[in-house]
């Protein structure tokens, strides 16, 4: 009896292989199409925030309630098949209109985040700064405060606990929402070094100030006047006083020493507060900034207006602007008008 035709055996094998492929395709393709058709019908880009305490069930509820998932079952099934619930990664993730479940799951598994933009303008105290960052990032207020009040940590950046606020240059920065506190501080130091380039450092040196001292003076200038147009003039006045060895006698430093920026009238009792921040008692600049100065304030000091003014007092119209004077006699006349208006308005 002869051997079967090898060609026929090969043909049967090919037929079987084709049939298996068709059967597999009949099963897999509809499943794949169903999964890729599982989409999020949100009308605008929505962001998922996955923190340390976020679990898979919380994520699923958010996708169901806030991102209009049209078939959350497919997302849940594929997530569990890929062991995602046990390997969730923190971060901020974008869900775009019509995004498929498979694309979102891929981004979540790989940690492909969308950065956030952070700002911190009009900040006075370290706690204010820490709270502002807490509002915008995964880190907590304490995460920041414990570092900014640590002398060794501040020293590692070239500052102390009084001057560390100068390291923060107010701007808009893109970072990942789950950035660590240490990485954030390192980023801020890098931005500080970028801002204080060779040109700005040379400008500061020509005035006789260090970059930190420019920040301190800028903070006084910004607390002194509500009119940004006056910044360079006020900066020039204080630089004149510094160069002449005069006490700055800046009211904002007294308010800082008193811990009360709401004071509308600085009294003699306030002028006697024994604090290194009280420039009515202690010569030169205070040991640290009164606030985190803006870039506009910093540049106003570096490009201060050159004039002969040594004195200033708020205008009696309460516009937030000032009357400037070269002589004490002229200043006293301006001050008398302002005090008279305070009395007329019964401001004590």
**pLDDT of res. 23:** 47
- Contacts by residues 171-174 (CB-CB < 8 Å, ≥ 24 positions apart): 171/119, 171/295, 172/117, 172/118, 172/119, 173/117, 173/118, 173/119, 174/115, 174/116, 174/117, 174/118
Domains belonging to the chain, first-starting first, are 41-114 (3.30.1490.480), 116-195 (no CATH), 198-344 (no CATH)
Alpha-carbon distance 279 to 288, whole Å? 12
| Among 73-82, 111-120, 162-171, 258-267, the least confident range | 258-267
What pTM was estimated for this model as a whole?
0.84
Q: How far is CA 118 from the centre of its chain?
A: 4
Alpha-carbon distance 216 to 229, whole Å? 19
Q: How far apart are the first and last CA of the chain?
A: 124
Indicate if the pLDDT at residue 25 is higher than 60.
Answer: no
Residue 226's pLDDT band (cuts 50, 70, 90): confident
Indicate if the pLDDT at residue 4 is higher than 70.
Answer: no
For the chain, where are the alpha helices, taking DSSP H only? 6-37, 56-66, 72-81, 101-110, 126-136, 141-148, 151-156, 181-195, 198-207, 211-224, 231-243, 251-258, 268-271, 295-302, 328-344
Indicate if the pLDDT at residue 28 is higher than 50.
Answer: no
Mean pLDDT of the chain: 89
Indicate if the pLDDT at residue 276 is higher than 70.
Answer: yes
For 82-172, where are the alpha helices, taking DSSP H only? 101-110, 126-136, 141-148, 151-156
**Is 71 in contact with 99 (CB distance < 8 Å)?**
no
Alpha-carbon distance 133 to 118, whole Å? 8
Give 299-342 pLDDT, tens digit per residue.
999 999 999 999 999 888 888 889 999 999 999 898 888 888 87
Give 121-135 pLDDT, tens digit per residue.
999 999 999 999 999
């Amino acid at each position: 009896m002869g051997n079967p035709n090898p060609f026929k055996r090969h043909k049967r094998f090919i037929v079987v292989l084709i049939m298996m492929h068709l059967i597999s395709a009949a099963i897999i393709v509809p499943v794949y199409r169903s999964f890729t058709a599982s989409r999020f019908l949100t009308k605008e880009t929505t962001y998922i925030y996955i923190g340390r305490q976020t679990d898979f069930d919380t994520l699923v509820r958010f996708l169901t309630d806030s991102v209009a998932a049209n078939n959350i079952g497919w997302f849940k099934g594929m997530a569990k098949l890929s062991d995602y619930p046990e390997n969730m990664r923190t971060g901020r993730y974008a869900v775009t209109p019509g995004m498929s479940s498979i694309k979102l799951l891929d981004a979540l598994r790989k940690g492909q985040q969308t950065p956030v933009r952070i700002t911190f303008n009009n900040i006075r105290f370290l706690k204010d700064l820490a709270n502002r960052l807490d509002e915008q990032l995964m880190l907590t207020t304490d995460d920041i405060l414990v570092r900014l009040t640590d002398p060794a940590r501040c020293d590692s950046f070239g500052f102390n606990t009084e001057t560390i606020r100068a390291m923060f240059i107010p701007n808009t920065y893109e970072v990942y929402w789950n950035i660590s506190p240490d990485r954030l501080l390192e980023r801020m130091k890098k931005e500080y070094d970028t801002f204080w380039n060779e040109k700005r450092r040379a400008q500061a040196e020509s005035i006789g100030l260090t970059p930190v001292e420019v920040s301190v003076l800028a903070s006084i200038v910004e607390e002194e006047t509500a009119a940004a147009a006056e910044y360079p003039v006020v900066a020039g006045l204080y630089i004149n006083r510094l160069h002449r060895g005069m006490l700055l006698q800046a009211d904002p430093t007294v308010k800082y020493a008193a811990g009360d920026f709401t004071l509308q009238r600085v009294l003699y009792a306030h002028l006697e507060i024994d604090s290194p921040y009280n420039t009515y008692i202690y010569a030169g600049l205070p040991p640290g900034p009164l606030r985190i100065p803006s870039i506009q304030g910093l540049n106003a000091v570096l490009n201060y207006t050159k004039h002969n003014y040594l004195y200033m007092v708020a205008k009696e119209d309460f516009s937030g602007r000032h009357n400037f004077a070269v002589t004490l006699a002229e200043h006293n006349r301006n001050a008398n008008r302002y005090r008279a208006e305070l009395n007329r308005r019964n401001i004590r």
